[in-house]
Amino acid sequence: MYRAVFLDRDGVINEEVNLLTEIKQVKILPNVVKAIKILKDLGFYIIVITNQPQVARGLLRESDVRNINNYIKKLLSRKGAKIDAIYYCPHHPEKHHQDIKPELLKYRIECDCRKPNIGMLKKAEKKFNLNFKECYFIGDKSVDIQTGKNAGCKTILLKTGYGGKDKKYDVEPDFVCDDLYEASKIIEKEVKKIKAVIIAGGRGERLRPLTDTLPKPMLPIGGKPILEHQIELLKKYGVKDIIICGYYLFDKIKKYFSDGKKFGVNIIYCEEKEPLDTGGALKNAQPFITNTSFVLYGDTMLNMDLNKLLAFHKNKGGLLTVVLHETDHPEDSDLVEIDKNNRIIKIYKKPHKKIKTNLAKSSVYVLEKKIFNLIPSKRHSFHSTDLPKIIKKYRVYGYVTNEFLKDVGTFDRYEMINKIYLSKQKSLI
């Protein structure tokens, strides 16, 4: 799923004039081009949503509206600011006038597209496969903010145009900005916050029958799902935007955590249509990843200093940092060889022969967005195909730690982790 910034047209992109009927009245507001470029670079679709009741009033034809829309689109795209779609509502619900021309009656209806209804957004949602929760609605009237709220988008009121003075709807926007440029900078800041991707797929074959009714990440440790422990850890280090990828019994996870508010975080879900491996899961989450991100596997209990890990990653400046730990079950782990600068030079996939190193690849990563360009498709195996290629060409580092980090892969390990947790031999979280 993807995300979009919905823009109102008049008073947001172009100067608000009382009645815009001709293209010569179109004046693009300052810095709109710059703002749209920023938003496009962040991976947003730019979709304009505008009420044009002048059509219903007989002051404009639909073809005039389309001409003006196309003209605005052209003006912007010439300067490198692409608008992906413009939706307009030509309707108005008033019917009591006696003098409505018969050909206009079709526009005098209670439609589902006139803002604050979300008919136009729904169309865009379908066409662009959008996740409203990750979308923004930007407008200059309270009706725009109400529309955004009705769809569950984040909302930004601009001081350009009406600047919210219409006061028709009593709604609080999430942000108020001087203009579209300032709004784009706020969105940039929001999306560049460090995020975490939790890969919560996997059937958990070896933990049957426990995993017949619960996905592995929902198995309790000390009475709480593993996933909840992870979310608490992330929150402790200020990572509040979490993307959970999954397939198997995914509804159980969604139901438990919902939007994350109860746990003090924001969660979005990337549901797989078929079970995917790490590469596929990451590829699915790609539209939501704009910067450096943590990646965790949902079956790992860990208590790590994430700030230290992040500082290591930033200092090394690699594309990817893989957390490594000395394993007590090397035969059952992917082992890793690093050089004296901690750069990963070789990975030994299990099953493998006895090898000198006992540094095991854990399921905690820090990655840069650029790595997605090196994962070719959703049907690829990240660990056996992509990663070995990536370490040859790019800098991938191993962060060696003895902090608590154990995967709940088998009954024995699950039991052991529960024991450790309950006896508080290690303070987990």
User: What are the DSSP E strand ranges found in 80-166?
Assistant: 85-89, 136-139, 154-158
Annotated active-site residue 166? The verdict is no
Q: Is 191 in the site for Zn ion (CB under 5 A)?
A: no
Site for Zn ion in 293-322 (CB under 5 A): none
Q: What would you measure as the largest C-alpha separation in the chain, in angstroms? A: 90
What string marks each residue from 214 to 233 as x (binds Zn ion by CB under 5 A) or -?
Answer: --------------------
CB 219 within 8 A of CB 226: yes
For residue 219 the two structure tokens come to 């198995």
Q: Which of 32, 39, 75, 113 binds Zn ion (CB under 5 A)?
A: 113
Q: How far apart are CA 37 and CA 184, in angstroms?
A: 9
Q: Which residue stretch of 6-14, 54-62, 212-220, 383-391 sits at the interface with Mg ion (rule: CB under 5 A)? A: 6-14
Counting residues that bind Mg ion (by CB under 5 A) gives 5
Q: What is the smallest separation between the CB atom of 91 and Mg ion, expressed in angstroms?
A: 17
Pairing of strands 320-326, 404-407: unpaired
CA pair distance 83, 416, nearest whole angstrom:
55
Shortest CB 42 distance to Mg ion, Å: 23
Q: State in angstroms the smallest separation of the CB of 131 from Mg ion.
A: 25
Interacting positions 70-89 with Zn ion (CB under 5 A): 89
Residue 111 as a binder of Zn ion (CB under 5 A): the answer is yes
Return the residue nearest Mg ion (CB atom).
11
Q: Coil, strand or helix: which one is 351?
A: coil
> What minimum distance in Å lies between the beta carbon of 117 and Mg ion?
16
Radius of gyration of the chain (CA): 26
Site for Mg ion in 113-142 (CB under 5 A): 140
Q: Which does 334 bind (CB under 5 to 8 A by kind): Zn ion, Mg ion, none?
A: none
Instruction: Pick what 10 binds: Mg ion, Zn ion, none; C-beta below 5 to 8 Å, kind-dependent.
Output: Mg ion
Minimum CB–partner distance for residue 114 and Mg ion (Å): 13
CA nearest to 253, candidates 200, 295, 291:
200
Catalytic residue flag (residue 332): no
**What ranges in 49-105 are assigned the alpha helix state H?**
62-78
Q: CA-to-CA distance for 42 and 128, rounded, in angstroms?
A: 16
According to DSSP, the residues that pair with 154 across neighbouring strands are 136
How many amino acids of this chain bind Zn ion (CB under 5 A)? 5
C-alpha count within 13 angstroms, C-beta hemisphere, residue 17: 13
What's the half-sphere exposure (Cβ side, CA atoms, 13 Å) at 272? Answer: 24
Binding flags for Mg ion, 152-181, as an x/- string (CB under 5 A)? ---------x--------------------
Instruction: Choose one: 108-116, 185-193, 337-345, 372-380; the region binding Zn ion (CB under 5 A).
Output: 108-116
Nearest alpha-carbon partner for 176 in 150, 191, 154: 154
Instruction: Point out which residues bind Zn ion (CB under 5 A).
Output: 89, 91, 111, 113-114
- Residues forming contacts to Mg ion in the complex (CB under 5 A) are 8, 10-11, 140, 161
Residues designated catalytic: 8, 10
